[in-house]
Structure 1
């Protein structure tokens, strides 16, 4: 009887030690992950929830204001300035997203060739992308200044009339797109370059053996293999375009005549200049829903095309 009880106790202790040994790797893993988790929760999830609650109130960041429910979202429907900012953002996205993807594909194709100093060329293409948009905007102010800028100086040297660029309402948004392409084309170029190098060489060689010309190989072999990279870049660049702010802030500040006021700059003005923080938070959540919808449509269209 005593031996049976001692055996039961020993088995219980062994099971307890086994469970402790099984939990130890989990606790160790959580010990490494917990600091990053706290940072993500503190800097991402908590501000998002707080902004959602703020969008339901009418006030500033200090007093908090009173609860108004969905009134801020209803006001967005009648806000002509917001519709204008949305139109400017849409125009920027329509010009920037396809332009950056197409230019990135061209550059990646060129950078995939076996030429001398190819590493230097790849670095030069990617460097503008890692430079902050604020620095890019400050540089753009010097380059496109109507009176002292390098571009107008070159035009005058060629006997051509100068242009207003960032100070002309008809040219300011186009100029921002050009500056954005210079600073942001490095991302599509690198992604496409990696995708090109991942294409099996047997596919290209088989197409050439069958007598396909280079342009046919590129159209019917290379481009289909680049579809996942194209989908990723379309979504990524669309999100980047919809969140345009720092370049506008450092160049035009929404001017001239509000021709470059985009959605993010508009909500910044509402929240931090006019102190309508509740309305600004509502605009931010409206932009979030629009971005999520655009990404979902892109994924749905891609899956349908593949099917």
Structure 2
């Protein structure tokens, strides 16, 4: 029987993998060429300053003469500095007043603006306008309005038969006035976010609760507020971070006065670094603030993790 010829086989193309690797390298190089400017900006404006300020917090530096290593002396001095303690106390008081009041006011306004009323779009815009204004403009505006001699606020109080107030020039009132100014501008954000959250409240749940005889107060307590819980947690974290970092409003209106009653932590840091030229001491205070800002972030992460696990367990069951 004649032997059949062996089938023809195509030799493997060894150049294909090399071409594929070259194409991938070219694509990676092109991608890095587009991304590298952003990476350099991020490194130059965030990572490098963070590392440099961390190193600076362990040194005595006046930004002019050569610095020297002092270790933890800056942090030990902060623990014994009464001015830093006053700044921490003012910041915590400001935060404890501003955060819950802004969230409660935002929720109240959102519930009011979530109804079908005339000019509701205009009202929503008007409540958001103060939020988009810069803190510098707000400070200048309220400095004129609350001027103890020529301001419009004392003029109105005089017509009402109330004695004139010191407002931003009174050590007993200045911090509370800053809280009121911040509420005027910061409540708009809470209102808008709560309005967005109210759109996700299931209408069938509200209708079922009403059919079961629940009043408006019970619907709010047992249906609306539980649905808005993630929004509330987010606002609580966001407003806390904003309150702990307040600076520009205090700088424009009071310069930390009178008698240090409005000296908050960020203003204290600026004062130490750029007014007293103790940059290392100011950097140490900045890292104390950074650690304080980590606390609400960690708490939020833990809470959200528990919520996700509870949701998965409920779905599995």
Inter-partner Cα distance in structure 1 for 2:135 and 2:165: 23
Question: Counterpart in 2 of 1:7?
Answer: 11
Q: Which runs of 5 or more residues in structure 2 are unaligned?
A: 1-7, 311-317
Q: What RMSD over aligned residues (CA atoms) do the two structures have, in Å?
A: 2.0
- Taking structure 2 as the reference length, the TM-score comes to 0.90
Question: Counterpart in 1 of 2:193?
Answer: 191
Q: Which runs of 5 or more residues in structure 1 are unaligned?
A: none
Inter-partner Cα distance in structure 1 for 2:120 and 2:23: 53
Question: Counterpart in 2 of 1:71?
Answer: 73
Inter-partner Cα distance in structure 2 for 1:256 and 1:160: 23
CA drift of 1:64 comes to 4.2
Per-residue Cα deviation, 1:251-285 (whole angstroms, up to 9, x for no partner): 00011111111111011110000000000000000
Within-5 A mapping of 1:37-52? 37-52=39-54
Aligned match for 1:135, one of 134, 137, 140: 137
Within-5 A mapping of 1:234-249? 234-249=236-251
Question: Counterpart in 2 of 1:293?
Answer: 295
- Taking structure 1 as the reference length, the TM-score comes to 0.93
Matched residue SS, 2:271: helix
Aligned match for 2:254, one of 246, 252, 264: 252
Matched residue SS, 1:7: coil
Matched residue SS, 2:11: helix
1:54–1:64 CA contact under 8 A, matched in 2: no
Per-residue Cα deviation, 1:57-93 (whole angstroms, up to 9, x for no partner): 1011233410111111111111111011100000000
1:165 aligns with 2:167: yes
Aligned residues: 302
Rg larger for: 2
CA drift of 1:139 comes to 0.6
Matched residue SS, 1:203: helix
Within-5 A mapping of 1:261-276? 261-276=263-278
Inter-partner Cα distance in structure 1 for 2:148 and 2:69: 48
Inter-partner Cα distance in structure 2 for 1:123 and 1:240: 22
Decide whether aligned partners of structure 1 residues 27 and 192 sit closer, same or farther in structure 2, where only a CA change above 3 A counts. Answer: farther
Per-residue Cα deviation, 1:146-187 (whole angstroms, up to 9, x for no partner): 111111111111121111100001100010000000011111
